[in-house]
A = this chain, B = another copy of it.
Amino acid sequence: MRRYSVFLLLLLGLLVLLPATTMAADPSGAGNPIDLEGAMNSIDYVWVLVCAFLVFFMQAGFAMVEAGMVRVKNVANVLMKNFMDFAIGTIAFLVIGYSLLMGSDVGGMFGDPSSNFMLFGESYDVGNMLLWFFMLVFAATSVTIVSGAIAERPKFKTYLIYSAVVTALIYPIYGHWIWGGGWLAASDLMVNLGGGYGALDFAGSGVVHALGGLLALAACIVIGPRIGKYTKEGKPLPIPGHNMTIVMLGGFILWFGWFGFNAGSTLSGNQLIIAKICVTTVIAGAVGAVTAVLLSWRRAGTPDLGLAVNGMLGGLVGITAGCAWVEPWAAMVIGVVSGIIVCYGVWFLEKKGVDDVVGAISVHGFNGLWGLIALGLFADGTFGVYTVDGPLVTGLLYGNAGFFVAQMINVVVLAIYALGTGFALFYGLKKTVGIRVSPEEELQGLDISEHNVSAYPEMVTKDVAMTQEAVK
């Protein structure tokens, strides 16, 4: 364990040795003129930062939803994963991730890896730091999705490696293809393939959610289901989460943060479409929740809390790509479909032996892809490419097949990329450092085995899953 102190000393040493005075563009904001342009600039900064704060706060939402959906013995572990993936991700994003995502384009594939290293030199600029911060909280959202899906069984150390790799490499590269001027958004190839259009994704149904959700699918398959999740005959058994109150709290926090997620993606407070984005966002979330509750009610005879929250989240994921481009009625349709996808996705995967503790694959993965498709269908041609004066975006229902094709190409590429890198990563981790704790540790719970802590040391608890096994 001595190597940690060596690591710390090296880190300290390295940093202090680095050139203290760096070349810089405008690190202080001194360049903001005191005129109309300067004022509009300030409005953009205020808006983007406040929205970024909200997106940051979604980390708390994920932590609460995930913690609430696991058993008491794994709560601290899930919390630590949610917390540390952000902390480690911040460092990875500062060192390399952001450069790959937003650095000057290299062949349509990634950004110049050295362009924003530690935000030195030219990248030490208020405008660039604004974008860095906003992009960081988005990356962290994507990364944290896997945590809940594979809860209650992964090795903590392996999860940290996973989160560093995704923030440093997997997320930024695909993100660059869409948001960084890469080939899916802007290339001759796409223009030719897609009938004259590049792919679009306003706030990240694909970049953030589908990527995270499909990585979760790969992870769940590689790691295998929890002990006790299936009978010997393969029949799934419910393993109820330990705390519905914090699941709901987390759901509300995520919805709250999502307004910043979607409306902040204008990167400008001067684009008044931010008002419409909030409207489509709230509608899709509400309709997703209602749809999922009705479906759960029909199936089980009672309205289900977990599916209510997941239906809402699914609706939000579904609207995220198209929030600026579709009408309120389309947001409603998107929400209905999202709620259906969540419910049937969750039930299908459970039956197929994919043990996703929180439903992340259906909520983020399947609905992320649906969001990209929905944008290709419903874009109504009243708003341009990311700004009010870009070329207008029109979907299949408005007679534009070309853009729909571009979106479908994106769906296929993204699915291949996410599952490909996901399986490679998790299979690689499995074969090297190991991905799963021992059965003894899993039965004992990860809080004790991985952290030597009890989340609620004074509470007297009973093992519900054990009772189920006894019943079985």
Contact = CB atoms under 8 A, between A and B. Distances in A.
B453 A463 contact: no
A21 B282 contact: no
A397 B271 CA distance: 43
A304 B453 contact: yes
A184 interface: no
Interface in A119-148: 119-120, 124, 126-127, 129-130, 132-133, 136
A274 B89 CA distance: 22
Given A133-B275, A383-B27, A259 B39 contact: no
A28 B274 CA distance: 9
A190 interface: no
A241 B451 CA distance: 15
B279 A119 contact: yes
Interface residues on A, range: 35 or more
A46 interface: yes
A275 B462 CA distance: 48
Contact of A126 (B120, B132, B272, B381): B272
A309 interface: yes
A298 B464 contact: no
Interface string A160-180: 000000000000000000000
Contact of A32 (B39, B270, B285): B270
A451 B304 contact: yes
Given A119-B279, A460-B461, A252 B291 contact: no
B28 A383 contact: yes
Interface stretch (A200-208, A325-333, A352-360, A411-419): A325-333
A455 B282 contact: no
Given A42-B43, A72-B458, A309-B83, A249 B329 contact: no
